[in-house]
Structure 1
Amino acid sequence: MQRLIPTGDPARPVAFAEAPQPVPEPGEALIKVEAFAPNRGETFLLEHPRPGLLPGKDVAGLVVQAAADGSGPGIGTRVVGHPAHAGWAEYAAVPTHSLAALPDSVDSVRAAALPLAGITALRLLRTAGSLTGRRVLLTGASGGVGHYVTELAVAAGAELTAVTATPARGERLAELGAEVVHDIAAARGPFDVVLESTGGPGLPAALRKARPGGTLVWFGQASRTPATLDFFELLQGPERVTIQHFHYAGAPYGSDLAALVRLVAQGRLHPEIGRVTGWAETAGTLVDLRERRIRGKAVLLTGEGR
């Protein structure tokens, strides 16, 4: 079969290679991949790939071999999956606890855009707690996670302000009900909850927007710059703010994937997909994703040649 492997060249991060079809473990199903969606974090790993790196966490396709232990969906079931790696290929072995069946109303393109960003959004909002009537600030809002957080938080009754780099990147967020600003300083605080994903100077700037006794949940570092906090500067800001580190990981993922699929099927969640193309265009798409030239998610189709 064909799979995409790292090249170590930032200008063309992946190339096609022949590989044996994966042999599933007893608790894994073999999926014929129809679509996959790279994440920006994966583009960073590809700049200096470690030996043996096989990227690919977000896939959708068809079960062609059910799990030997009897768990999970049967042959012929359309699914979305979140494997630990190796999803950018014609076939992927995925643990059944990280799969969810797809109804006919949810296509593979939208399904592939769900796993990492959608699971992150769900778990992030659970961490933040009830948002009804609360004021929320979201930084780095125009990526895949930001779109899901915005739609879900607004639907839950939050008054959400989204920070994006440009007006164009904020258009969809405004349609979803967010107030959009292009600099943290322009956000009209104070906020009960701050969801911070940029790191660098953005984190202390966002922290200053929290209300006394509020919460900042730090879930990313899109700027790729470490944050520096000055204790004495914090004393001049809001009192007793809680800073909480968040990372989405922790299997099983199947129940969260099923919840996301259900929301899409019910018309309550709308993946923001900035590009859909054949997987022959993966290398260029990865570069554009890394350089923030794609709004929302990018989805690659394995059935559309090399």
Structure 2
Amino acid sequence: MQRLIPTGEAARPVAFADVPQPVPQPDEALIKVEAFAPNRGELFLLERPTPELLPGKDIAGLVVQAAADGSGPGIGTRVVGHPAQGGWAEYAAVPTHSLAVLPDSVDSVRAAALPLAGITALRLLRTAGSLAGRRVLLTGASGGVGHYVTELAVGAGAELTAVTATPERGGRLVELGAKVVHEVAAARGPFDVVLESTGGPDLPLALSKARPGGLLVWFGQASRTPVSLDFFQLLGGPQRVTIQHFHYAGAPYGADLAALVSLVAQDRLHPEVGRTTDWARTAETLVDLRERRIRGKAVLLTGGAR
């Protein structure tokens, strides 16, 4: 079968290779991949790839071999999956606890855009707690996680302010019900909850926007710049603020995937897909994602996607 593997080259981050079809573990199903979606974290890994790196965590496709232990969906079932790696290929072995069944109303393109960003948004908002009537600040809101957090938080009754780099990237979030600013300093607090994903100088500034007794959840460092916090400077800001580190990872993922699929099927969650194209164009698409020339998710098709 064919698989995309890292090259270490900035202009062409991946290339096709002929490799053996994966052999599933007893608790894994073999999926014929129809569509996959890259994530920004994978772009970072491709800059200095390790020999064992096999990209691909967000996929949708068809079960062609059910798990030997009897768990999970049967042959012929359409699914969305979140494997640990290896999804940029014709076939992928995925633990059944990281699969969810797709109804006919949810196509493979939208399904492939869900897993990492959608699971992150769901788990992040659970960490933040009840949001009805609460004021929320979201930094780094331009990407897939920001889109899902905005739609879910506003839908839950939050008054959300989103920080995006440009008006163009903020337009969709305004349509979803957010107030949009383009730098953290412009956000008018105080906020009950701050969801911070950029790091660098933005985190202490965002922290200063929290109300006394508020919560800051730190879930990313998109700026790739370390954070410096001055304890004495914090004394001039909110008192008793809680800073909580967050990372989405932790299987099983199947229940969260099923919840996301259900929201899409009910027309309550709307994946933003900025490009859908054949996986022969994966390398150039990765470059365009890296250079932020695509708004929303990019979805690559291996053939046969519904």
Q: TM-score, normalised by structure 2?
A: 0.98
CA distance in 2, matches of 1:51, 1:182: 39
2:2 paired with 1:2: yes
CA distance in 2, matches of 1:137, 1:9: 37
Match of 1:28 in 2: 28
Match of 1:157 in 2: 157
CA distance in 1, matches of 2:295, 2:189: 26
2:136 partner amino acid: V
CA distance in 2, matches of 1:281, 1:186: 39
- Displacement, 1:285? 1.1
Match of 1:173 in 2: 173
Match of 1:123 in 2: 123
CA distance in 2, matches of 1:52, 1:250: 21
CA distance in 2, matches of 1:289, 1:21: 28
- Displacement, 1:33? 0.2
For the residue of structure 2 that corresponds to 1:120, the secondary structure is helix
2:176 partner amino acid: L
Match of 1:270 in 2: 270
CA distance in 1, matches of 2:198, 2:188: 19
CA distance in 2, matches of 1:186, 1:302: 43
Q: How many residues align?
A: 304
* CA distances 1:230-286 after superposition (whole Å, capped 9, x unpaired): 111111111111000000000000000000000000000000111111111111111
- Displacement, 1:303? 1.3
CA distance in 2, matches of 1:294, 1:225: 23
CA distance in 2, matches of 1:203, 1:59: 32
Structure 1: runs of 5+ lacking an equivalent: none
CA distance in 2, matches of 1:103, 1:137: 34
For the residue of structure 2 that corresponds to 1:32, the secondary structure is strand
* CA distances 1:143-181 after superposition (whole Å, capped 9, x unpaired): 000000000000000000000000000000000000000
Identical positions, percent: 87
2:81 paired with 1:71: no
Match of 2:136 in 1: 136
Match of 2:280 in 1: 280
- Displacement, 1:196? 0.3
- Displacement, 1:29? 0.2
Match of 2:258 in 1: 258
Match of 2:146 in 1: 146
For the residue of structure 2 that corresponds to 1:43, the secondary structure is helix
Structure 1 range deviating more: 71-80 or 284-293: 284-293
CA distance in 1, matches of 2:102, 2:24: 21
CA distance in 2, matches of 1:299, 1:228: 36
For the residue of structure 1 that corresponds to 2:160, the secondary structure is strand
* CA distances 1:201-253 after superposition (whole Å, capped 9, x unpaired): 11111111111110000000110111111111111111111000000000000
Match of 1:221 in 2: 221
CA distance in 2, matches of 1:15, 1:41: 19
CA distance in 1, matches of 2:227, 2:303: 42
Match of 2:197 in 1: 197
CA distance in 2, matches of 1:224, 1:251: 26
Match of 2:105 in 1: 105
- Displacement, 1:107? 0.1
CA distance in 1, matches of 2:103, 2:206: 40
- Displacement, 1:291? 2.1
Q: TM-score, normalised by structure 1?
A: 0.98
Match of 1:292 in 2: 292
CA distance in 2, matches of 1:247, 1:288: 26
Structure 2: runs of 5+ lacking an equivalent: none
Match of 1:302 in 2: 302
CA distance in 2, matches of 1:196, 1:292: 20
Structure 1 range deviating more: 234-243 or 95-104: 234-243
For the residue of structure 2 that corresponds to 1:46, the secondary structure is helix
CA distance in 1, matches of 2:59, 2:97: 14
For the residue of structure 2 that corresponds to 1:185, the secondary structure is helix
- Displacement, 1:113? 0.3
Where in structure 1 do 4 or more consecutive aligned residues deviate above 3 Å? none
1:290 partner amino acid: R
2:266 partner amino acid: Q
- Displacement, 1:293? 1.9
2:118 partner amino acid: G
1:273 partner amino acid: V
- Displacement, 1:4? 0.1
- Displacement, 1:119? 0.2
2:190 partner amino acid: P
2:245 partner amino acid: H
